[in-house]
Amino acid sequence: MKNKFKLIFLSLCILVSIISFIPIEAFSMSDEKVIYLTFDDGPSKGPCSEILDILKEENVKGTFFILGNEIKGNEDVLKRIYDEGHSIGLHSMTHEKKNLYNNENDFLNEMVQVQDLIEKTVGFKSNILRFPFGANNNTYKLKKSLVELLHNNNFKIYDWTVDTRDGELYNSSPETFIKNSKSKDNNITLLMHCGSANKNSPKALKSIISYYKENNYIFKTIDQSTPEIFHYVK
């Protein structure tokens, strides 16, 4: 009986010792609900500027994946994104499948080009990127060789987990985007767009932010420390 008691006591001591080395965050953050608001295809003077106005009013930060060909003439918008504390990512120069998905080095070069343009405009070198049309689309399925090439050049990849569908259905009503945005998942990366064609996206944004605030989500931006979001399709 004494031996049994000693064994139980020893087991408890070991358990307490193990727990004492687990960071507090491992307990307190396990139920944290996080949303990353992300906006593709900017900068643009119209929708992108409206979105920035709303984010400022709501005291929320977002992540903007930038097209290199949209920077010229919109430098002031890109500077505003940076100056107001939003995160900046890369979304290629052209957004053209034929330029991006025929050759892995062509894909890399487009990301390097937009990276250089952003750095020249705002003085910040971004290493986070998003594949135009997603890493798995009707032209291209993600290959490990391209992931390795990007990682070797210090890039990180971020798809999304929830799609408002305001990219393909940009003329749809704001109510459609609001409905498509809603999720109960604990960790959400929401895809929206802020190109010149996305005139209804800003009209949906306030309600989307309100929904996630009411459901006690924390709004975060993507940076190099954020776990990557991509997968391979068999």
Which residue in 112, 124, 133, 119 sits closest to 191, CA to CA?
Answer: 133
| 195 within domain boundaries | yes
What's the token pair of residue 163? 């799609």
**pLDDT value of residue 4:** 47
| Gyration radius (Cα) of the chain, Å | 21
Dump pLDDT digits (tens) for 138-148. Answer: 999 999 999 99
Task: Describe the chain by its helix, strand, coil percentages, rounded to 5.
Answer: 45, 15, 40
Q: Is residue 16 part of a domain?
A: no
How are beta strands 63-66 and 34-42 bridged, if at all?
A: parallel
Using an 8 Å Cβ cutoff, are 128 and 160 in contact?
Answer: no
Q: What is the pLDDT of residue 19?
A: 36
- CA 7, CA 1: separation in Å to the nearest integer? 10
Q: Which residues of the chain are modeled with pLDDT < 70?
A: 1-30
Q: For residue 12, is it within any domain?
A: no
Count of domains forming the chain: 1
Amino acid at 111: M
Answer yes or no: is 54 within a domain: yes
Position 156, amino acid: K
* Side chain identity, residue 179: K
pLDDT of residue 31: 76
Which residues span the domain enclosing 84? 28-220
Distance separating alpha carbons of residues 155 and 104, to the nearest angstrom: 14
| Residue 19 belongs to some domain of the structure | no
How far is 228 from 220, CA to CA, in rounded Å?
A: 14
Q: Is the dihedral angle over the CA atoms 91, 93, 98, 102 positive or is it negative?
A: negative
Q: What is the spatial distance between Cα 92 and Cα 86, in angstroms, rounded to a whole number?
A: 19
| 202: three-class secondary structure by DSSP | helix
Report the alpha-carbon distance of residue 170 to residue 41 in Å, rounded.
Answer: 12
Residue 87 lies in a domain: yes
Residue 232 lies in a domain: no
Could you give the CA distance from residue 221 to residue 15 in angstroms, rounded to a whole number? 37
Residue 151 sits in a domain whose CATH number is 3.20.20.370
**Residue 156 belongs to some domain of the structure:** yes
Per-residue model confidence (pLDDT) at position 214: 98
pTM of the prediction? 0.87
Cα–Cα distance, 187 to 75 (Å, whole number): 32
